[in-house]
A and B are shown apart, each in its own frame.
Chain A
Amino acid sequence: MKRILSIILALVLMLALFSACGNKGSKKESDTIKVGLLAPLTGDVAEYGIAVANGVRLYTKELNAKGGINGKTIELVEYDEEGDAAKAVLGYNSLVDQGVVAIIGDVTTGPTVAVVSESQADNTPMITASATAAAVTYNEETGQVYENMFRSCFIDPFQGEKMASFAYEELGAKSAAVLYNNGSDYSLGVANAFIAKAEEIGLEIIATESYADGSQDFQGQLTNIAAKNPDTLFVPDYYNVIALVAQQANAAGITARMLGVDGWDTVLDVVTDASLIEGAYYCSGYSTQDTREEVQTFLEAYKAEYNNEPNMFAAQGYDAAMILYAAIAKADADGKLDNETIISYMKATDMNCVTGHVTFDEFNNPNKTAVIINVSNGGAKYWGNY
């Protein structure tokens, strides 16, 4: 009995082996182009990973439905790295072994940086939809730009520059005060960029105050700012802090117009009285109220596919796929679907995406317009792209 069983088992195993071979053999490589998607689809940061992946899948599906790239179908090979840098590196190698021509990913900064240094050996073209740290495309210590790495989101300091020139040119600001979180790279980076840009264009910074991470009390700093009487107050931090700052700025008698960054998103849900931030402006990567055709088409398609509103990550994922596939299409048309050709076409990107018009600077960061949101009559209104 045992012997019969073992023979049957051996036969089953052999059959499985043959069928696996058969699968591999039957695939016609020339009809598809494989693209990797590296993202945390489970785990702590899955929320971001899934949103990015949904955006990428949607664009891939749309493009394939329109005939793919020069008649070839894009095959998306997904790898779930669970938000872990070590698994992301494994995933990167696994995707490269499976013959992908390029990779969309990673999603969060830590794993992305790990994957980028791994990718230097084989130079696979990559684009991240959401990793905002400068270190993703640029090694500060060696001064080396990672030529194969691009991103479709803007980096943190970029927002500071945008808001400084927006305040000066569009709002006619003359003097500004900056209140920032000294314990947050995000807040500090944006504040420094704002100050540098302001000095460059002639917007006078008359007060710079900071606070420790986790502070609730800003009265001392705000009283100092009130004494200088600036016409603009720039506070780059997250919405919880803004709710407290807005209240205390009012109590300190500050009447300056408040300016913020994408961390302000949903600030109206936590601020006790919307009139405290009435007239404020903040920037964001994306707004569902954006009236541009790209955004509205994307919104409709996304809602039809997933039955919910796309957030910024989904929009940036969609854009990452759009930018990458456009470059692959051009390289494929040249008949040179190799790393260098794809990278050089990505570098030359100049196209309208959902989150704005994209070109890349020397650090492979997108030069694009930011969405400006205006708080008026107690609601967040889309002001326009700047």
Chain B
Amino acid sequence: MLLLSQLINGLQLGSIYALVALGYSMVYGIIMLLNFAHGDIIMAGGYIAVLILTAGRNPVLAIILAIIGCVLLSVLIEKVAYKPLRSAPRISLLITAIGVSLFLQNMAQLLFTANARSFPNTVVIPAINFRIGSINISLTALVTIVVTIISMICLTLLVQKTKMGKAMRAVSEDTDAAKLMGINVNSTITFTFATGSTLAGIGSILYCCRYPLVSPTMGSLLGLKAFVAAVLGGIGSIPGAMIGGLAIGFAEVLVSAVGLSEWTDAVVFAILIIVLLVKPTGFLGRSMQEKV
């Protein structure tokens, strides 16, 4: 019974990691960039939601604006910081991404101070617990898991069934060939960033409902763990990011469940090292033909 409760915890945590890892994986798939600013997009989403909620506005409005804010910010970063470097060596892009991440964190510190703000999570998802036998499930956990599943189904449909999805797959396979086929590579890349940050926006709200404190550096550790999840699943692969996210979530919760809670972060990063040493392509990295 206790194990089942812990598995639900893992599923909730893993869902959030998966949503964030998808953003990493999609962007990597299309322009081979490890977008380390992705975690800080989540922070931005959290602050937008907090500002709207503390102004007493509708939570639905807050969620929608947080997601739109994440998308706009991410597209802006892509246009300003990454697009001019598209033909530059990949290391320049990586360094730029780290720079953008630091910029966003410090900007947030300047605007909102380094003090954490509390996120009125009960306005978004009421603090209701369901009891099934001795298992306790919070509404937050339930909503997180359901929203993540829906998001993933939508994403899969988008990538597999729509014209834009086809373009994304084509660009990730071979940018030059896609260009020759008349695909607008620039808008496809922008669209990929937008899709990734939509998921980040959703992840941001779900994360804040679980951890109701918003601070300028909240995205950095979350971003790193989601990055580990993306690598574990095979970076560049969409189903890989989902599996990787869930695996990291379960790993964390199980480590603390057996009483080694101080070791959770160490275990996550040990997984990264082991994956890179043993199977650098992750679970699904190589076998996936359709990288996005």
Query: Interface residues, chain A, CB within 8 Å of chain B?
Result: 182-183, 209-212, 214-221, 223-224, 226-227, 240, 243-244, 247-248, 250-253, 269-273, 276
Q: Check if B127 sits within 8 Å of A273, measured CB to CB.
A: yes
**CB < 8 Å neighbour of A240 from B129, B138, B213, B262:** B213
CB-CB under 8 A from A250, the residues of chain B are 127, 129, 138
| Residue B2 CB within 8 A of the other chain | yes
Q: Check if A215 sits within 8 Å of B264, measured CB to CB.
A: yes
Q: Check if B121 sits within 8 Å of A272, measured CB to CB.
A: yes
CB-CB under 8 A from B281, the residues of chain A are none
Q: Check if A253 sits within 8 Å of B264, measured CB to CB.
A: no
CB-CB under 8 A from A248, the residues of chain B are 210
| Residue B163 CB within 8 A of the other chain | no
| Residue B20 CB within 8 A of the other chain | no
Question: Apart from A211-B256, A227-B1, what are 15 other A-B pairs with CB-CB below 8 Å?
Answer: A182-B261, A211-B261, A211-B262, A212-B265, A220-B255, A223-B2, A223-B5, A244-B212, A250-B127, A251-B140, A252-B5, A272-B120, A272-B122, A273-B121, A276-B127
Q: Check if B136 sits within 8 Å of A212, measured CB to CB.
A: no
| Residue B61 CB within 8 A of the other chain | no
Q: Check if B127 sits within 8 Å of A243, measured CB to CB.
A: no
With CB as the reference atom, state the residue of chain A lying closest to B121. A272
CB-CB under 8 A from A182, the residues of chain B are 261-262
| 6 sampled A-B residue pairs with Cβ under 8 A | A220-B261, A223-B136, A247-B121, A251-B129, A252-B136, A253-B129
CB-CB under 8 A from B255, the residues of chain A are 220
CB-CB under 8 A from A209, the residues of chain B are 259, 261
Q: Report A153 CB to chain B, min CB distance, Å.
A: 25
| Residue B6 CB within 8 A of the other chain | yes
CB-CB under 8 A from A224, the residues of chain B are 2, 257, 259
| Residue B13 CB within 8 A of the other chain | yes
CB-CB under 8 A from A244, the residues of chain B are 211-213
Q: Check if A273 sits within 8 Å of B122, measured CB to CB.
A: yes
CB-CB under 8 A from B253, the residues of chain A are 219-220
With CB as the reference atom, state the residue of chain A lying closest to B116. A240
In the bound complex, what is the Cα–Cα distance between A269 and B12 (angstroms)? 27
CB-CB under 8 A from A211, the residues of chain B are 256, 261-262
Q: Report B91 CB to chain A, min CB distance, Å.
A: 30
Q: Report B90 CB to chain A, min CB distance, Å.
A: 31
Q: Check if B5 sits within 8 Å of A243, measured CB to CB.
A: no
| Residue B198 CB within 8 A of the other chain | no
Q: Check if A217 sits within 8 Å of B264, measured CB to CB.
A: yes
In the bound complex, what is the Cα–Cα distance between A271 and B213 (angstroms)? 9
